[in-house]
Chains A and B, each alone.
Chain A
């Protein structure tokens, strides 16, 4: 409480080196770990009173340097203040659900958890990395269309025939099972198709699309949504549809879907930019 209102004497606390370090913090947990280590303390002993003071000094410093203090840092400051106040109270007074619990316990657990991942990510960072330390042999994408399977812009009719065959497999008939609302979106199926193709190394048989997840029943909405998703992916050129050709040039054999490099790239970007996918919030203003 004392610290929160006190203006920070920048020079006396950490000096200019502090400012350089600031940008290196990956968040409030990281900053806390740093403070604990700097005090040569053990995480499990988390000296809240001491750390909270220093933590708030850092936040003040950030503000002084006109850095944006992200909301997470403020939340942590509040958490520390709360823990500090809890520790001042005599134990087991008015405690129903948290009886005897160290108010620091949850924060300590999070710090330990974060520390593990921080450590292991530092190890991973040291690993020999493809694209940085070693480079794989690269082959032009165009060389990879399999022998004997030239591209055929499969007509919509051919595709529809294949689709009808799959649809015929969908169990129908009245009274077979209770109708339940099933949430299938074309968008979701687009994701699933691109995933399935990715898992198969870039190419997939049409029929496999409908056989790939055995635990999911083939339902009419699912099959229809999958087919629409396929058409949409072809439209945005994320996929191409192929069929083998006989010697005389007549189409033959299973219809195959193949990911195009540019298309897949474009599609990846779409997924990446879609707020529905990542739930990227615009919190900048906070």
Chain B
């Protein structure tokens, strides 16, 4: 099959899927397409979009490819999707960060780290499918343990959990922190994630 035709099909599949589609799945469907060639085709499609000045990008998130609107048009999309705008409070962000790095984790453990009650926040994160109940810890009381979901990866544009920014080691925090050192890691980390996705993550 012609490469141009394969490219068309890959594009169509990603558009129609909505959810992230893995390279393996695409290769399974598209005739004579090897999984290792998928990334190349997707990159071409993304480049086409870019050259044509389209409002679309293909991202590699949660183990698959997903078509998304460009960040530059976000304000308008937010007007369209008023009801589903994803707002996360500081409490929610902190809780989800703790769950992400420490999963599977119990409610009590989350509470120990944050120093406040975690039940209501966990509940709202489960409601929003960012966190799921991953079973029980086999200790007295068999407390439930929480883990992040595929949706979490999708929302934060992460390919897999390993793509999370590195948690600073406690030792690194020991020397007196100077103001400059606190800014750099943030920029570095976001830049890294931008590179792992096939499309740029700059916001402007």
A→B interface (CB under 8 Å): 24, 26-30, 42-44, 70, 72, 76, 109-110, 112-139, 143, 188, 191-192, 195, 198, 201, 268-269, 271-273, 277-281, 283
Q: Which of A115, A137, A138, A283 contacts B117 (CB 8 A)?
A: A283
When C-beta atoms are compared, the residue in chain B nearest to A143 turns out to be B16
**Interchain residue pairs A-B with the least CB separation, the first 8:** A131-B86, A27-B116, A280-B119, A121-B97, A29-B115, A139-B18, A121-B93, A134-B68
- Decide: A116 near B127, CB < 8 A? Known: A29-B115, A134-B71: no
**Residues of A contacting B136 with CB < 8 Å?**
188
**Residues of A contacting B167 with CB < 8 Å?**
116-117, 120
CA distance A116 to B182 in the complex (A): 11
Chain B interface residue count, Cβ-Cβ cutoff 8 angstroms: 76
Residues facing A in B87-133 (CB within 8 A) are 87-88, 90-91, 93-94, 96-98, 101, 107, 112-117, 119-120, 122-124, 126-127, 129, 132-133
Say whether B115 contacts A272, CB under 8 Å. no
**Residues of A contacting B91 with CB < 8 Å?**
26
When C-beta atoms are compared, the residue in chain A nearest to B155 turns out to be A130
Say whether B165 contacts A136, CB under 8 Å. no
Say whether A131 contacts B129, CB under 8 Å. no
- Decide: A134 near B69, CB < 8 A? Known: A117-B101, A126-B190: yes
**Residues of B contacting A119 with CB < 8 Å?**
168, 182, 185
Residues facing A in B153-181 (CB within 8 A) are 154-157, 164-165, 167-168, 170, 173-174, 176-177
- Decide: A131 near B117, CB < 8 A? Known: A120-B101, A123-B186, A126-B186: no
Q: How far is the CB of A283 from chain B (nearest CB, A)?
A: 7
CA distance A112 to B171 in the complex (A): 9
Say whether B113 contacts A113, CB under 8 Å. yes
* Interface stretch (choices B2-10, B30-38, B44-52, B73-81): B73-81
- Decide: A114 near B173, CB < 8 A? Known: A124-B156, A126-B190, A127-B193: no
**Residues of B contacting A136 with CB < 8 Å?**
18-19, 66-68, 154
- Decide: A124 near B90, CB < 8 A? Known: A29-B115, A129-B156: no
- Decide: A278 near B132, CB < 8 A? Known: A122-B186, A128-B71, A131-B155: no
Q: How far is the CB of A230 from chain B (nearest CB, A)?
A: 18
Q: Which of A28, A43, A76, A280 contacts B120 (CB 8 A)?
A: A280
**Residues of B contacting A28 with CB < 8 Å?**
115-116
CA distance A149 to B76 in the complex (A): 38
Say whether A130 contacts B115, CB under 8 Å. no
- Decide: A128 near B157, CB < 8 A? Known: A117-B113, A123-B165, A278-B123: yes
Say whether B173 contacts A112, CB under 8 Å. yes
Say whether B71 contacts A125, CB under 8 Å. no
Q: How far is the CB of B143 from chain A (nearest CB, A)?
A: 8
Say whether B144 contacts A277, CB under 8 Å. yes
Say whether A121 contacts B90, CB under 8 Å. yes
B85 interfacial contact with A, CB 8 Å: yes
CA distance A72 to B86 in the complex (A): 29
Between A and B, 11 residue pairs with Cβ closer than 8 Å are A26-B90, A70-B116, A116-B167, A117-B94, A120-B167, A123-B185, A130-B155, A130-B157, A135-B77, A278-B144, A280-B120
Say whether B117 contacts A72, CB under 8 Å. yes
Say whether B59 contacts A191, CB under 8 Å. no
Say whether A278 contacts B165, CB under 8 Å. no
CA distance A125 to B113 in the complex (A): 19
**Residues of B contacting A42 with CB < 8 Å?**
176-177
Extra A-B contacts (20), CB below 8 Å, given A268-B126, A272-B126, A279-B119: A26-B114, A28-B115, A29-B115, A115-B173, A117-B97, A124-B97, A126-B190, A128-B71, A128-B201, A130-B157, A132-B74, A133-B71, A134-B59, A134-B68, A134-B70, A195-B133, A268-B129, A278-B107, A278-B123, A280-B123
Say whether B96 contacts A121, CB under 8 Å. yes
**Residues of A contacting B74 with CB < 8 Å?**
132-135
CA distance A105 to B57 in the complex (A): 49
**Residues of B contacting A109 with CB < 8 Å?**
170
- Decide: A277 near B133, CB < 8 A? Known: A126-B190, A137-B67, A268-B126: yes
**Residues of A contacting B177 with CB < 8 Å?**
42
**Residues of A contacting B96 with CB < 8 Å?**
121, 124
**Residues of B contacting A72 with CB < 8 Å?**
115-117
When C-beta atoms are compared, the residue in chain A nearest to B114 turns out to be A27
Q: How far is the CB of A278 from chain B (nearest CB, A)?
A: 5
**Residues of B contacting A76 with CB < 8 Å?**
115
